[in-house]
Chains A and B, each alone.
Chain A
Amino acid sequence: MSKEKSSGKGARFGVAAVLILIVTIWTIPTLGVFITSFRDSKDIYSSGWWSVLPHKDLVKTGEFELPQDTDPNGLIVIEDHSAQFSEWRVGIELEEGRVLRWYGNKRSRKIEIFEEKWIGFGANLTLSNYRDVLAAGTITFEDASGNQITRQGNNFADAVLNSIAVAIPATIIPILIAAFAAYAFAWMEFPGRKPLFIMIVALLVVPLQIALIPILRDFTAWGLNGTFVSMWLAHTGFGLPLAVYLLYNYISTLPRDIFESAYLDGATPFVTFVRLVLPLSIPALASFAIFQFLWVWNDYLVALIFLGDKNRVVTSALAAMVGEKGQDWHLLTSGAFMSMIIPLVVFFALQRFFVKGLTAGSVKG
């Protein structure tokens, strides 16, 4: 509305500058992980991800050995320049853009020549990080000094499938159960309707930590630990208060006439629900579906406790990788992206519904 009324050019420039600064801080870290996930493992250890951009840097152009009688403890003269070992070790710029640097320890007597050059666009990009992170067996890669490292793969392929097997039912089941309940609370009479609904409102903010230990005990007793069913049950239980509340707000505003005419046509409540209520409630169902899907897919705590190491989902696989392979950035970054790709696609494709659900759930709650 007030877009045209911004006062003056200076103010508009200031607004844009602040926004661009914030957006830069908000996006650069993700971009860094994205770029790194395509870089060669050896490169990742030796340079920052921003070095894939064109820039001027010192590039090794050659090396030579000093005579065997060079005394590393005295003054060392190279190309008419004399300096101590420690200075050569750091590197000395003999002329503009040309640096000589002692390689390794005092005994090596090796000098490397570096020249400042424009580099970029020539970055080694690869998909092998993704191949390695998806793999289940042993994988090998090169570290900074070119050594072959062998590791056990983290089997992200299975983790993605497990996440799908957890997240899709754990999204649809609570919606179905909540929609039935919301319809009953809105349009049916039964004993305890009001107190039960007030209970649901109270449960909206209850921290799920309160429920984890008792539910874990139940699952252990029923032999459900580590199964997908346990995850569906837990996520359904935890998601229901918000689901019933949101869907109630929507379904209770549907016009009464449609239910009455359906009833006069002889339709049972079940038929009315399936043929009328569900199709009419699609915007509300979609809003909650996205919310619940992102929540379940990104959940770590519930998966950690009820699935454990059996049937690892992407978040637990990634967290386990942070613990085991904290410095293997080529695997961590590609793993992080594997875990983010599906929610990001869902998010950008259906952002409108998601925003609607968020505002409905929060402004009213």
Chain B
Amino acid sequence: MSTVLTKSPEKKVSHTVFLGLLTVIILIGGFNLLQQMQHIKVLMTLFAVVWGVGSTALLYFTLNSIAQTLPKKIRSVAVAMVFAGPAVILLFWALCIPALRSLWLSFFDATGTSFVGFKNYIFAFTNPAMVESFRNNLLWMIFGTSSCIILGILISVLADKSKHEKLFKSLIFMPMAISFVGAGVIWKFVYAYKGQGINIVEIGLLNAIMVGLGGESQPWLLIPFWNNFFLIFIMVWLQTGYAMVIISSAIKGIPGAIIEAAEIDGAGPFTIFFKITLPSIMPTVITVTTTILIFSLKLFDIVRVMTGGNYGTNVIANEFYLRQFSYGNTGQASAIAIVLLVVIVPVLFYNLKEFRNRKVLK
């Protein structure tokens, strides 16, 4: 690189032009080559990884070289734009502009051609499927989130007193590495139901326990209303580890001297928990709660895989998917997406306020 800098300006420019052309050829040629490699899968995978990562790095190198050929006055701003530009452009393309385009589409009909006013929003708040989804999402947000938080706090506090803290926490945390689809299969197997009849052996764990305790096996995912809770438990299983890890690190941050002083004053473990631990970790608990609330609002995969939203278990994100991809109604789907965004806007402003208060940005 230092050799490039010492070359004469003309040579530098011609080098840069050559580099630019080479970059374009590698980007376009590589893309076409990748499409041709479908039948040699292993090679294709290797090529995809090398080309994908390599061409991104090459793009920066080339853009930077071009910026370096510019006159000194504008060079530093140009280099800054090369560094920040791609991220900013991608964010505008992937999130900012789509939000506006979705808003625009939500006022149009199924194919996005004729204006329908607020019709899609009236649908979003009055359609029976949507009303059911709102109710269910409320269940997910209330019961799912509170279970994650309460269990997370309980496990953090108890594990802190245990010799095998790391092992316990690791095992609770493990589901974080499992996809919701994978978790769906795991729990579908737990809830498996064969039916009632003579000499039927239940292979699902929950029904085997039911039968073992003298009860009758149940089609857990078909029981109206309550089936929602069997789905919510899957999210609790997946997300408690997250709550636990964050809360646990907050608990470890409480100065030991405070707790020792309280113990000397004769405070019991419950007094210490409610008077010292809980108030000190409250800001963290609130952050984790909002994160999981947003998560349960957007929840899609678990319901999609377990019930497809049938039997009264539909949620907003699944109805969004159905409207767009089963009914082909872009207007209604966009209106649902906007509703999701509007619900999250208060959190967005809260984040911004917190961010300003902390003065991170120099």
Q: How far is the CA of A32 from the CA of B77 in the complex (A)?
A: 59
Which residues of B are found within 8 Å of A301, using beta-carbon distances?
Answer: 300-301, 317, 321
Which residues of A are found within 8 Å of B204, using beta-carbon distances?
Answer: 48
Measured CB to CB, the closest approach of chain A to B11, in angstroms, equals 17
User: Which of A69-77, A124-132, A145-153, A331-339 makes up part of the contact surface?
Assistant: A331-339
Q: Contact at B83–A178, with CB atoms within 8 Å?
A: no
Contact of A305 among B325, B344, B362 (CB under 8 A): B325
Within A142-201, the residues touching B (CB, 8 Å) are 157-158, 161-162, 164-165, 168-169, 172-173, 176-178, 180-181, 183-186, 188-191, 193-194, 196-201
* B138 interface hit (Cβ, 8 Å): no
Contact of A189 among B80, B154, B340, B360 (CB under 8 A): B80
Give the interface SS of chain A, mostly helix, strand, loop or mixed. helix
Contact of A205 among B41, B56, B252, B344 (CB under 8 A): B344
Q: How far is the CA of A97 from the CA of B287 in the complex (A)?
A: 59
Q: Contact at B95–A29, with CB atoms within 8 Å?
A: no
Q: How far is the CA of A322 from the CA of B5 in the complex (A)?
A: 59
A181 touching B162 in the complex, CB below 8 Å, given contacts A206-B99, A294-B176, A365-B351: no
Number of B residues whose C-beta is below 8 Å from A?
A: 128
Contact of A347 among B2, B174, B186 (CB under 8 A): B174
Q: Contact at A209–B90, with CB atoms within 8 Å?
A: no
* B35 interface hit (Cβ, 8 Å): yes
Q: Contact at B182–A318, with CB atoms within 8 Å?
A: yes
Q: Contact at B305–A322, with CB atoms within 8 Å?
A: yes
Q: How far is the CA of A196 from the CA of B361 in the complex (A)?
A: 11
Q: How far is the CA of A162 from the CA of B86 in the complex (A)?
A: 26
Within A204-230, the residues touching B (CB, 8 Å) are 204-215, 217-218, 227-229
Q: How far is the CA of A215 from the CA of B151 in the complex (A)?
A: 38
Q: Contact at B301–A185, with CB atoms within 8 Å?
A: no
Measured CB to CB, the closest approach of chain A to B53, in angstroms, equals 5
Within B122-163, the residues touching A (CB, 8 Å) are 151, 154-155, 158-163
Which residues of A are found within 8 Å of B358, using beta-carbon distances?
Answer: 364
* B218 interface hit (Cβ, 8 Å): no
Q: Contact at B352–A201, with CB atoms within 8 Å?
A: yes
* A38 interface hit (Cβ, 8 Å): no
Q: Name the CB-closest residue of A to B65.
A: A270
Q: How far is the CA of A36 from the CA of B77 in the complex (A)?
A: 60
Measured CB to CB, the closest approach of chain B to A130, in angstroms, equals 15
Give the interface SS of chain B, mostly helix, strand, loop or mixed. helix
* A355 interface hit (Cβ, 8 Å): yes
Q: Count contacts between A and B, CB distance < 8 Å.
A: 375
Measured CB to CB, the closest approach of chain B to A278, in angstroms, equals 11
* B64 interface hit (Cβ, 8 Å): yes
* A289 interface hit (Cβ, 8 Å): no
Contact of B287 among A90, A298, A365 (CB under 8 A): A365
Q: Name the CB-closest residue of B to A45.
A: B203
Which residues of A are found within 8 Å of B177, using beta-carbon distances?
Answer: 294, 298, 340, 343-344, 346-348
Q: How far is the CA of A348 from the CA of B338 in the complex (A)?
A: 38
Number of A residues whose C-beta is below 8 Å from B?
A: 136
Which residues of B are found within 8 Å of A94, using beta-carbon distances?
Answer: none
Measured CB to CB, the closest approach of chain B to A277, in angstroms, equals 10
Q: Contact at A332–B189, with CB atoms within 8 Å?
A: yes
A237 touching B324 in the complex, CB below 8 Å, given contacts A201-B355, A214-B97, A336-B186: no
Q: How far is the CA of A270 from the CA of B75 in the complex (A)?
A: 13
* B1 interface hit (Cβ, 8 Å): yes
Contact of B95 among A48, A197, A211 (CB under 8 A): A211
* A351 interface hit (Cβ, 8 Å): yes
Q: How far is the CA of A206 from the CA of B83 in the complex (A)?
A: 24
Which residues of B are found within 8 Å of A203, using beta-carbon distances?
Answer: 91, 95-96
* A259 interface hit (Cβ, 8 Å): no
Q: How far is the CA of A359 from the CA of B333 in the complex (A)?
A: 34
Q: Contact at A177–B205, with CB atoms within 8 Å?
A: no
Q: Contact at A298–B324, with CB atoms within 8 Å?
A: no
Q: Contact at B155–A29, with CB atoms within 8 Å?
A: no
Q: Contact at A268–B182, with CB atoms within 8 Å?
A: no
Measured CB to CB, the closest approach of chain B to A313, in angstroms, equals 10
Measured CB to CB, the closest approach of chain B to A146, in angstroms, equals 16
A207 touching B340 in the complex, CB below 8 Å, given contacts A180-B86, A189-B80, A340-B182: yes
Q: Which of A11, A15, A16, A211 has the most CB of B within 10 A?
A: A211
* A283 interface hit (Cβ, 8 Å): no
Q: Contact at B198–A90, with CB atoms within 8 Å?
A: yes
Q: How far is the CA of A344 from the CA of B154 in the complex (A)?
A: 25
* A264 interface hit (Cβ, 8 Å): no
Q: Contact at A26–B175, with CB atoms within 8 Å?
A: yes
A-B CB contact pairs (8 Å), 30 listed: A3-B161, A5-B263, A29-B186, A32-B189, A48-B204, A161-B42, A162-B45, A164-B45, A169-B52, A173-B52, A177-B86, A188-B80, A190-B80, A190-B81, A202-B348, A207-B294, A209-B340, A210-B341, A215-B98, A237-B94, A240-B91, A240-B94, A298-B177, A305-B325, A329-B189, A332-B189, A333-B185, A340-B182, A347-B177, A355-B245
List 11 additional A-B contacts (Cβ < 8 Å) besides A204-B348, A322-B184: A11-B269, A27-B171, A29-B205, A189-B76, A201-B351, A207-B297, A211-B95, A266-B2, A315-B179, A318-B179, A351-B170
Q: Which A residues are within 8 Å of any B CB, using their own CB?
A: 1-3, 5-7, 11-12, 15-16, 18-19, 22-23, 26-30, 32-33, 36, 44-50, 89-91, 101, 157-158, 161-162, 164-165, 168-169, 172-173, 176-178, 180-181, 183-186, 188-191, 193-194, 196-215, 217-218, 227-229, 232-234, 236-238, 240-241, 244, 248-249, 252, 266, 268-271, 273, 294, 297-301, 304-305, 314-315, 318-319, 322, 326, 329, 332-333, 335-336, 339-340, 343-344, 346-348, 351, 354-355, 358-359, 362-365
Report the 6 A-B pairs with minimum CB-CB distance, sorted nearest first.
Answer: A237-B94, A169-B52, A298-B179, A181-B87, A347-B177, A184-B83
